[in-house]
Amino acid sequence: NNQAIGQFMPANLQAALNARPNPNAPVQLNYGIPEPRTVLTNVDTYNITAGLQGSIPGTDWTWEAFVNAGESITFARQTGTYSLTRARSLLQAPGFGLDYVNNSNTASIRQNTVNGVAYGFGANIATCTSGFNIFNGWGNISQDCKEALKADLKNRETMKQTIWEANATGTLFELPAGPLQAAVGVSYRKENYQFINDTITTQDASFLDQSIGIYPSVDFQNGFDVKEVYGELAVPVIKDSFVKELSLELGGRISDYNTTGTSYTYKALANLAIVDWLRFRGGYNRAERSPNIAELYLTPQQTFAVNSIGDICSQKSNYFISANPTAPGNNATQAADIKAVCSAVMDNTGGPGTSGTYYAQVSTQPGPGIGFSFPTIFGNSKLKPEIADTYTFGVVLSSPFSSPMLSRARLSVDWYAVHLTHAIGVSPAATLQRCLDPFYNPLVAGAAGNSAQAIAAATSTACAGPSTTITYDPSPVGLGRITATYTNEGEAKISGIDAQFDWGADVGPGTLSLNVVGSYYLYYKVKELAHNPLVNYVGTFGTGSLGLQTGVYRWRMLTNLGYKMGPASIGLQWQHLPPVQDAGEAVAPTPNQVGDPHSYDLFSLNGSYAMTSNVNIRLGVDNLFNRAPPLVNYQSNFDNTGANTALQTLRGGSYNSQFYDTLGRRFYIGANAKF
């Protein structure tokens, strides 16, 4: 209690604890060991390629055949990590382990004749002269105590790959518009991956100890092989007739995986040049992606993840599947059923009374929007390949003018639409919904009036099965461990326009050039589960689910302006990003999660000078105007100090280093030399 450890606490902290109505009431302190974590990595890689190439006499056909074999072994040692069990032992010992002595083999103890310390035969011995007194500062903790806590981690990864491949290209025969050319090939590829974990972080093995702040995982080894055959045709249809040119590009590939069976992919593209300065292009492409080794065979891995829908057992949730009857798309009957199943899940996993504590008052339940979780994820050997259908259409305009200032102008504009089905994904949000959505767990419907049915729903495979498990912690009550596996239920529809403008002209003694690349999203609709509506993420940071890229800005632009004179060149780059909202705004708009309310412009300056044909000097300034990154994901409605006294909270927020510069202005200089 506080009186027992008072001699080790700072006086002001002890006084504050004693001033409470119950001086010995529980108190929780968060302490982070102030030692930096570092990872020392050794990578040994070899890659051997051997092959033959040649041509067929009397034709333009060429061929090649080769084998490629490689292996990469990565050994990583992570320092700055510490044992949880040993830390608890010291904290729970008298005086926080002052003059602590212990060993790992108490079954065989005798006296050390040098210093009188008891130790076991063949045992590890540890001492802690100063004790692990966190109130005294890390710098005042003795070195032997730090060594007693230390738990450096050693992991090893091995990746092996073997490829056999043969290709041939040449002309099949002549058509009126030109030669019909073909490319054919066969290949065989085998990959194998192995991960050997440090014992102290091995799930289901090191059950007496773990490393503080490191998620447990499991040793892993598996692989796959695939046999493929492909063919492509370049078909000239029209040449210098009523149009300048019309050609087709046709192709197909058959891939036979030992994991997912046979996949068929194909494409049909067209290129139409009306005149020299006007060209149209477009076509269709069917692609399939077979699941990778991790998606198929990953052993249980604990990790940190974003829960995009938050806690849907909360009566403050605004998700359409939740315990809140006023959430958009929800109703009172469904909300009551979900609450009943939530209560059964809480009492079943957190112990009797957990749901009563959770639902005692609405104000203490989690609010709407994105939350965080610590799921345990594992592979699914029953996965099927993802399928993507892509349509494109574009136009290319080359300058029809011969004047020096206009002759090198070129503009291309391309529209695209991608439809991804059977998309592979895993997320805590999907696991929560599978448990509580009547579409996936029919026992949820009617559970509000039937306690036995609610319990049956909470203990069904949808909530407590081997692939979907959710739990609640009893104190403080909240969403606990989630177990999830990969599925093929995801879908995405993405469409947009890409444009590029290039221009150049001789100005003065050198050449001035301009390149502008822009993109615009028409829609970016995604869903993880079959029962969900497609959510349009355009104008938000987007979702990382289904392996998709984040940062779904409505539009963006990158401009490069350069000038080259002889061996010297200089360039200015301008990156523009428009305002963007938090991804939670797309899922369920809320007033408390916002993105950057302003646009973001980043400029960089670069230059180079070729001293000789073999030596080139380069230098530049990144973030030329020292543009600060915007604060994102913060709560609004806070005063100018960043606090809300009514809620007794700070606004929070973070800096996104993926899309904004978090380092500030910086200079560089370097050289390239050829020998």
- Reported as a pLDDT band with limits 50, 70 and 90, residue 109 is low
- Longest CA–CA span in the chain (Å) reads 104
Rounded Cα distance between 607 and 152, Å, is 44
What does the pLDDT read at residue 10?
Answer: 80
- What is the pLDDT, as a whole number, of residue 245? 96
Per-residue pLDDT at 169: 98
- Give the type of residue at 142: S
135 or 395, higher pLDDT: 395
Q: What is the pTM of this model?
A: 0.86
Q: What percent of the chain has pLDDT over 90?
A: 68
Flag whether pLDDT at 639 surpasses 70: no
Residue type, 661: D
Burial of 209 (0-12, 13-18, 19+ CB in 10 A): middle
Instruction: Please tell me which residue, 121 or 672, carries the higher pLDDT value.
Output: 672
Q: Is the pLDDT of residue 3 over 60?
A: no
Decide: 103 and 123 in contact? Cβ < 8 Å: yes
User: Which pair of tokens denotes residue 391?
Assistant: 């349509």
pLDDT band at 125 (very low <50, low <70, confident <90, very high): confident
pLDDT for position 541: 87
The pLDDT assigned to 503 comes to 97
Q: Quote the pLDDT of residue 644.
A: 59
Q: Angle of helix 451-458 relative to helix 332-350, nearest 10 degrees?
A: 60
- CA distances for 348 relative to 156, 358, 429, 464, angstroms: 39, 14, 20, 10
Res. 113 pLDDT band, cuts 50 70 90: very low
**Predicted confidence band of residue 124 (pLDDT cuts 50, 70, 90):** confident
- Which of 136-140, 368-372, 641-645 has the weakest average pLDDT? 641-645
Verify cis geometry, omega within 30 degrees of 0, for the bond prior to 438: no
CA distance 410 to 259: 46
The DSSP annotation for 184-228 comes to EEEEEEEEEEEEE--GGGBTTT-TT--BTT---B--EEEEEEEEE
Residues in contact with 661: Cβ distance below 8 Å, sequence separation at least 6, in sequence order: 602, 622, 623, 627, 629
Kindly indicate the confidence band of residue 646, based on its pLDDT and cuts at 50, 70 and 90: low
Quick: pLDDT tens for 191-227.
999 999 999 988 778 888 999 988 888 898 999 999 9
3-state class (DSSP) for residue 241: coil
Q: Could you please report the per-residue DSSP string of 43-84?
A: EEEEEEEEEEEEE-TTSS-EEEEEEEEEEEEEEEEEES-BBH
Strand partners, 188: 164, 227
**Tokens at 160, concatenated:** 């092996």
Closest C-alpha among 553, 550, 549, 558 to residue 520: 553
For residue 110, what pLDDT is reported?
A: 52
- Return d(Cα 209, Cα 267) in angstroms, integer: 54
Mean pLDDT to the nearest integer, 617-623: 97
Residue 645's pLDDT band (boundaries 50, 70, 90)? low
- The confidence score (pLDDT) of residue 477 equals 87
- Considering the chain, what is the average pLDDT of its residues? 90
Residues 564-578: what's their mean pLDDT?
A: 96
Look at residues 377, 376, 365, 378 and name the one whose alpha carbon lies nearest to residue 310: 365
Kindly report, residue by residue over 23-82, the tens digit of the pLDDT.
888 777 788 888 899 999 999 999 999 999 999 999 999 999 999 999 999 999 999 999
Closest by CA to 201, choosing from 239, 156, 158, is 156
Residue 597 pLDDT more than 90?
A: no
Q: Which pLDDT does position 633 carry in this prediction?
A: 67
Question: For position 560, what pLDDT does the model report?
Answer: 98
| Paired strand residues for 526 | 492, 535
- Segment 261-269 mean pLDDT: 97
260: tokens are: 């997912």
- Least confident range from 143-152, 209-218, 219-228, 274-283: namely 209-218
Of the given ranges (273-282, 466-475, 603-612), which has the lowest mean pLDDT?
A: 466-475
CB 321 within 8 A of CB 529: no
Stretch 89-113: mean pLDDT: 76
pLDDT of 538 over the 80 cut:
yes
Q: What is the pLDDT of residues 479-517, one digit of tens each?
A: 988 999 999 999 999 999 999 999 999 999 999 999 999
